Structure 1
Amino acid sequence: MAHKLRGKLPGISLKAQLHLLIVLVAVFTFLVSLYISVQSTQQYLNTQMKSHAQDAATSLGLSMSAYMDDPDLVIAQTMVNAIFDSGYYADIEFRTSQNQVKIKRQTAIEYDEVPQWFVALFPLKPPLQSSEVNNGWLPAGVLSIQSNPGIAYKTLWHQARQSFYSIALIAFFSVLVIQWIVFLVLAPLRLIERQAREVSKKNFLQQDKLPFTTDLRSVVLAMNAMVANIQRVFLSLSQQADDLKVKVFTDLLTGLGNRRLLEQRFAAEQNEQKTHDLHLHMAMMSLHSLTEVHQSQGFQAADQYILLAVKELKQALEHSANSQLFRLGGSDFILLSQSSAGSLEIQLQQLSSKLKSMDSLFFPQGFASVALMTVEPENTLHHCLSTLDSAIIQRIQQPDLPLWVTDHKMQLKPEGRMAWHSVITALIQNQNFELWAQPVVKADQSVEYIETFVRFYFQHSQLSTTETYAMAEQQGLSVQLDQQVISYILNQIQDKPGRTYAINLSQGAVASALFSLWLEKQLKQLNGKVSLVFEVSEYSVLKAPDETKALMNIIKSNQCKVCIEGFGACMTSFKYLQGLDLDYVKIDAAYASALNDPENKFFIQTLCQICHGIGIQVLAPHIESEQMMDSCFTSGVNAVQGSWVLAPQKVNIQLEKSGLATELINLSSLRLSE
């Protein structure tokens, strides 16, 4: 019971414990030293009063012996009065041999400024000292004298005050010196703590300054060695994963994804298209003169031709956040994009004009042509590639053919771009949103967190989420839209504690400093009422690394978690994880969908080793079968998400009325338990 109670109590830092111990020792030492000093003075004064009274009795007795013949003892009384009036004696008495009191002088004891508690705490007891008085050879009587303790109390009180101030001053400066020494001793511990915290944030810092204390120096050296080992393993595994990704999924010349990655990416995008009702577009760029350039000018000229075309393609799509490029091999390049149809058409039309302007004698068949089509959910990759290839061939013969393969293309719900501003403004003002959710589930069937997202509606028709965000970005309303979406989600979940909910952040929100300030204010007002995870796309992290890191620091400082989604989708090194304070990464669906491939599975295992080595959990989305789920868990994935586990569920105004809540509370009803 006591052990459980101690586990619930808040801890006390070593610094606080040492400071408390030092203060307690200083106070104890001060009190004991003061008591010993006063007590010593007390004993000294008692001894002095005894000696003083005895000396006075002996001296006065000898003086009185010469006048004992006088029956009235007039001279003896005069001597006694002279001594008594000095004030140093409280009681003087002379008794004859017949026990008669002939002389009696007594005065009340006055303590003046000495407090009564001090008198009670340190009592002075002056003894009654006696001396025999003779008359010739015969004893005449006994003279008794007692010193006045009032004067001794004044002396003792002044001495106690002086001791109090001097010992207090010494104790104060001693505590300051000891505290300074403790500060110096604990400084390396603070650096060790900071080093450990930075490692948890994936920053591998080394302490160059070694402490003077040998024990702490050993600890610092051990920490440096451990951090160096962690960093070495992280860099080694990252390099291994990068090399494997280049070998398996990358075209070596251009650095773009190869056909193998295209096949996996296409399957993942179609799955997401069906799940979230997204629009997917595919474009092809073909280099018509590649064979002639290779034959007439050599392979180096052909490579330069390819790299120049890729450069133009990347520049045209530089601001397209939801587009991915692949090289089929040879002269064909593929673009997969979830961008809005209108913006994508403009970008590719500009690219087509630029490619046409590059026609010259060096390219006998023309520089390159582009074709674009909308991918329907039932289309296969082979069908799309064949359709685009046929369109490219037709464009060679008829250059003025439209960019789109078919005559009908996806029309925007609001007719015209100007209408989008009013539509998005209406969305922001009226919150025409519909809340949906989908859980992320671990192998033991427990829910890691529930991902939430919204769907937009315009005139009772659903809008494309990707297209809406893209147009909001063009209209300069993306931050306001994100703020309203997040406020809407928080209003739905903030009174439902006990679970962790995830919220997606768009690229525009991640890169906005104003949004970061707004989010920090919202999280402070929320004050930890509900556990949150914020999902940020890998593209956003790479596009705005500094802004993303600042936003992550705000999120983490408010006890929320961070997840990078689409991890591995961008053809870049995984070393960018170093320095990011992450809790989760959600691997790109293209990798999870092809775990039956040994090389792909080994790649996922390597990713899991990298992330687990630096304290990051790995999640896998779009799980569509039990085999996919089992392969993910055996590869080291911590939790999965997908329609096979539980498809996205519409959430009503009251979360507890949603079918999702029932499903999550009773996880035995999930297919996962079958």
Structure 2
Amino acid sequence: MLKNGISLSTQFYALIIVMTFIAFAGSLLSSTLTLRDYLNSQLGSHAQDAAHNLGLAISSSGGADTVLIHTLASTLFDSGYYQQIRFVDNEERELVNLSHDNNAAVPRWFSDVFALQAPIMQSEISDGWLVLGTLTVQSNTVLAERSLWQQTTRNLLSSALLFALAALAIHVILRALLKPLRQIVQQAEAVGRKEFRQNPGRTVTRELNLVLGALNSMVLNISKVFSEQSRYAEQLMQQAYLDPLTSLPNRRALQQQLSNLQQDAKLNHNALYVAMVSLSSLQQTNDEQGYASGDQYVQKAASLLRQLQQQYPALQLFRLSGSEFAIIGAADRTSAAELDNKLIQALEQEHSQCYSQGFGRAVSVLAEAAESFSNILARLDTLQAQDNVQLLTGANTEADLCAPGRLQWQQLIDRLLHHNDSSDANMELLLQPVADQQHKLVYAECLLRFVVDDKPLSTAEVLAMAARLNRADTLERQMLQFILQSLPQLSGGAVAINISEAVLCSDDLRQWLLLQLAQGAATLPPLLVEIAEHSIIQHPQQAAQFITKLQQLNIKVVIERFGANLTSLRHIQHLNIDYVKLDAGFINDLEQESNRFFIMTLTQICHSVGIKVLATHLESIDRLEACKSLNVDGFQGFVLGEIINFTFLSKKGDVNKTKMQYTLKQVFNPKGDTYDAS
């Protein structure tokens, strides 16, 4: 509570309760002291009257009869109202001395704090001008103490009742007064979560109404600016990267994405599948039926290809030109051959008399990770020019003959699921740094690689085959478990783990992961979670709930490959995220003015709602400096640091099978005292 300060309502309650308590306690103390002083006065007056009356009685008897004097004193003393009666004659002889032991009738602490002081009253007894002696009388305080105690307890009970009633009334009044304030606080917290909602409430307090109106106006303006800038940025992106007829990414978008896909394919040892579909009868349709019919033909083909592409989330669909479409993405040979078959079957089913030259023709290749865009298109154009070209990616090449079969894949995945440190089928944890403008470490991203017999496997092939064998969730759990078991060896900075679409799709997997993160909070380093933009768009409700749960565990959230969807901004407006990692396509095409303008606009929009922007796949100082000039907050890429195989490092450093501890500075800069990405 003290970390973020004490709430105003708590301070109000504490202040009023303390003041009310002091008021009631002071009133009770004052009434008790007043009653005590009154009783002391009454005890003195009572003793003085007794001394005077007894003195008159003794004087009338002549004062010579000692027995009579003692009898008169005893009669008065036996009433119990007096503590002491004493008579001394004129020769200093004590003729009467009667006293009581004062047995406490109230708690000892009470009599000590509020002690009654009964005064000793004297009366001089004389017979005419002859002084017979001195009589002293002191009242008994027992009855007065009992009376004081009883009255004090009654006052205490009545004060407590009044205090409770006053507290209840104050609670009701404060609750009514502070309710609008709580709504203002909730509205401010909602703004921090990128929820721009209005507060329609009104209060009887003028100052609160002014604050409420100002906050509503601010929220409305922020929401309006965010929406306008987002809409403008999306329009610019769509004009630059979307085909207006089919709403598919265009040739420029493909060129931008290709480098990103090739880098990922190289890192994960994946094959890059590229297919080109040409509409054989488009020119004839335009000439014979008009351009409107030609547009319908193109839209029909786009719809057909989009339905096919949606079955393979790793693939992307583009419109290259008037009659050509491209499908590209990471895929294993089995998936590529399967897609080839489905693609040709779908095109053949649409063949009719309306398309005398066929509905469409497809060719495909498996591209190299470093192959240029022009070379890939040249290969596809060459294949298009050949006759009777069918399943090119499914051809019986030497690589295909060496590829594992279904049974072998099942055995291989089983080995991965039961891996251990001595196994020849393992997972390896890789770390790559993300640095800020000052080249200081922001966090390290975790990457995972599969290794069998000391050879890395294609990540796409392993995950695809695991899905076909109904082992996807099990493998995903094993991968996350491996990462979480490795991370306690790291300290000195934050670490990010990647969450796949499989986690968002599975309620059980999400709950399991959240439980693991909660239980490991004490041993794990500060965590971030990276979620691909595509996964969030496909599963918005599950993503929003998952992100909320992560924030409750103080885990920050990063959306990676941000901007690839071209409608990204509308999806982050209501998500409580901390970072967006730009799609590498924008970084690879920084020479384009539209790209630089989009990055600058996106950065301004994200900064307006407290989101930091990261750039990835930086491989040159020039691109790094360009991103800095566009106010990007953080950077990732080989220009900042190599990817570190932490599994290899930790095995090499472990002594006597004891897990050593590593700081991120030691991992990325083992010879330096500080991490400096420069």
Name the amino acid aligned to 1:429.
H
Name the amino acid aligned to 2:344.
S
Instruction: Identify which range, 265-274 or 225-234, moves more after superposition.
Output: 265-274
Instruction: Identify which range, 112-121 or 9-18, moves more after superposition.
Output: 9-18
Identify unmatched segments of 5+ residues in structure 1: 1-6
Measure, in 1, the Cα distance between the counterparts of 2:577 and 2:113.
65
Measure, in 1, the Cα distance between the counterparts of 2:464 and 2:188.
41
C-alpha spacing 1:410/1:229, structure 2 compared with 1 (3 Å) = farther
User: Does residue 220 in structure 1 map to residue 209 in structure 2?
Assistant: no
**How big is each residue's C-alpha offset from its partner over 1:404-432, in whole Å with a ceiling of 9 and x where there is no partner?**
49763863975223432222121111151
Measure, in 2, the Cα distance between the counterparts of 1:635 and 1:99.
115
User: Does residue 602 in structure 1 map to residue 603 in structure 2?
Assistant: no
C-alpha spacing 1:402/1:348, structure 2 compared with 1 (3 Å) = closer
**How big is each residue's C-alpha offset from its partner over 1:218-277, in whole Å with a ceiling of 9 and x where there is no partner?**
332222222222211211111011001011111111111111111111222223333443
State the match for 1:582 in structure 2.
Answer: 577
C-alpha spacing 1:672/1:87, structure 2 compared with 1 (3 Å) = closer
CA contact (8 A) 2:582 2:613 kept: yes
Name the amino acid aligned to 1:664.
N
CA contact (8 A) 2:644 2:667 kept: no
Measure, in 2, the Cα distance between the counterparts of 1:455 and 1:582.
27
State the match for 1:41 in structure 2.
Answer: 35
Q: What is the SS of the residue equivalent to 1:449? A: strand
State the match for 1:54 in structure 2.
Answer: 48
Measure, in 1, the Cα distance between the counterparts of 2:45 and 2:65.
30
CA-atom RMSD, angstroms?
2.8
State the match for 1:151 in structure 2.
Answer: 143
Give the one of 244, 258, 262 matched to 2:236. Answer: 244
State the match for 1:82 in structure 2.
Answer: 75
State the match for 2:434 in structure 1.
Answer: 440
C-alpha spacing 1:661/1:88, structure 2 compared with 1 (3 Å) = closer
User: Does residue 647 in structure 1 map to residue 642 in structure 2?
Assistant: yes
Measure, in 2, the Cα distance between the counterparts of 1:100 and 1:669.
99
Q: What is the SS of the residue equivalent to 1:329? A: coil
Give the one of 257, 273, 276 matched to 1:281. Answer: 273
State the match for 1:3 in structure 2.
Answer: none
State the match for 1:625 in structure 2.
Answer: 620
Instruction: Identify which range, 413-422 or 136-145, moves more after superposition.
Output: 136-145
State the match for 1:377 in structure 2.
Answer: 369
Q: What is the SS of the residue equivalent to 2:577? A: coil
Deviation at 1:71, TM superposition (A): 3.1
Measure, in 2, the Cα distance between the counterparts of 1:583 and 1:556.
10
Measure, in 1, the Cα distance between the counterparts of 2:270 and 2:673.
31
CA contact (8 A) 1:623 1:641 kept: yes
**How big is each residue's C-alpha offset from its partner over 1:303-329, in whole Å with a ceiling of 9 and x where there is no partner?**
111111111101112121111111112
Give the one of 511, 531, 541 matched to 2:536. Answer: 541
State the match for 2:567 in structure 1.
Answer: 572
Name the amino acid aligned to 1:273.
A
Q: What is the SS of the residue equivalent to 1:503? A: strand
C-alpha spacing 1:250/1:19, structure 2 compared with 1 (3 Å) = same
C-alpha spacing 1:138/1:515, structure 2 compared with 1 (3 Å) = same
State the match for 2:657 in structure 1.
Answer: none
**How big is each residue's C-alpha offset from its partner over 1:440-477, in whole Å with a ceiling of 9 and x where there is no partner?**
12221111111121211234432111221122222222
**How big is each residue's C-alpha offset from its partner over 1:547-589, in whole Å with a ceiling of 9 and x where there is no partner?**
1222222322222221111111123242110221211111111
Name the amino acid aligned to 2:544.
K
Measure, in 2, the Cα distance between the counterparts of 1:38 and 1:264.
88
Name the amino acid aligned to 1:402.
L
Measure, in 2, the Cα distance between the counterparts of 1:428 and 1:486.
12
Measure, in 2, the Cα distance between the counterparts of 1:255 and 1:559.
39
State the match for 2:487 in structure 1.
Answer: 493
Q: What is the SS of the residue equivalent to 2:542? A: helix
Measure, in 1, the Cα distance between the counterparts of 2:528 and 2:12.
38
CA contact (8 A) 1:439 1:450 kept: yes
CA contact (8 A) 2:665 2:674 kept: no
Q: What is the SS of the residue equivalent to 2:497? A: strand
Deviation at 1:510, TM superposition (A): 2.4
CA contact (8 A) 1:89 1:147 kept: yes
CA contact (8 A) 1:325 1:335 kept: yes
Deviation at 1:632, TM superposition (A): 1.1
Deviation at 1:62, TM superposition (A): 3.6
Deviation at 1:175, TM superposition (A): 2.9
Name the amino acid aligned to 2:408.
A
Q: What is the SS of the residue equivalent to 2:669? A: helix
Measure, in 1, the Cα distance between the counterparts of 2:6 and 2:489.
33
CA contact (8 A) 1:316 1:351 kept: yes
Measure, in 1, the Cα distance between the counterparts of 2:56 and 2:232.
112
Measure, in 2, the Cα distance between the counterparts of 1:525 and 1:589.
35
Identity of matched residues, %: 33
State the match for 1:256 in structure 2.
Answer: 248
CA contact (8 A) 1:283 1:335 kept: yes
User: Does residue 351 in structure 1 map to residue 343 in structure 2?
Assistant: yes
Instruction: Identify which range, 557-566 or 270-279, moves more after superposition.
Output: 270-279
Give runs of aligned pairs for residues 100-179 of structure 1, distance below 5 A: 103-133=95-125, 135=127, 141-179=133-171
Measure, in 2, the Cα distance between the counterparts of 1:415 and 1:276.
18
CA contact (8 A) 2:233 2:602 kept: yes
Measure, in 2, the Cα distance between the counterparts of 1:459 and 1:556.
40
Measure, in 2, the Cα distance between the counterparts of 1:412 and 1:660.
45
Give the one of 313, 323, 327 matched to 2:319. Answer: 327
State the match for 1:425 in structure 2.
Answer: 414
Measure, in 1, the Cα distance between the counterparts of 2:85 and 2:151.
28
Q: What is the SS of the residue equivalent to 1:494? A: helix
Measure, in 1, the Cα distance between the counterparts of 2:394 and 2:148.
110
State the match for 1:664 in structure 2.
Answer: 669
C-alpha spacing 1:241/1:418, structure 2 compared with 1 (3 Å) = farther
C-alpha spacing 1:244/1:31, structure 2 compared with 1 (3 Å) = same
Q: TM-score, normalised by structure 2?
A: 0.90
**How big is each residue's C-alpha offset from its partner over 1:160-211, in whole Å with a ceiling of 9 and x where there is no partner?**
2222222223223323333443344433333333222222221112222233
CA contact (8 A) 2:337 2:394 kept: no
Deviation at 1:629, TM superposition (A): 1.0
State the match for 2:85 in structure 1.
Answer: 92
State the match for 2:659 in structure 1.
Answer: none
Deviation at 1:498, TM superposition (A): 0.7
Measure, in 1, the Cα distance between the counterparts of 2:155 and 2:70.
42
Q: What is the SS of the residue equivalent to 1:383? A: helix
Measure, in 1, the Cα distance between the counterparts of 2:303 and 2:112.
98
State the match for 1:469 in structure 2.
Answer: 463
CA contact (8 A) 2:84 2:100 kept: no
State the match for 1:634 in structure 2.
Answer: 629
State the match for 1:552 in structure 2.
Answer: 547
**How big is each residue's C-alpha offset from its partner over 1:475-507, in whole Å with a ceiling of 9 and x where there is no partner?**
222222122222222232312211222211221
Deviation at 1:21, TM superposition (A): 3.4
C-alpha spacing 1:9/1:650, structure 2 compared with 1 (3 Å) = closer
State the match for 2:227 in structure 1.
Answer: 235
CA contact (8 A) 2:665 2:675 kept: no
Instruction: Identify which range, 137-146 or 450-459, moves more after superposition.
Output: 137-146
CA contact (8 A) 1:625 1:644 kept: yes
CA contact (8 A) 1:505 1:535 kept: yes
C-alpha spacing 1:393/1:78, structure 2 compared with 1 (3 Å) = same
Deviation at 1:670, TM superposition (A): 9.7
Name the amino acid aligned to 1:465.
T
User: Does residue 296 in structure 1 map to residue 292 in structure 2?
Assistant: no
User: Does residue 340 in structure 1 map to residue 332 in structure 2?
Assistant: yes
CA contact (8 A) 1:447 1:664 kept: no
C-alpha spacing 1:488/1:29, structure 2 compared with 1 (3 Å) = same
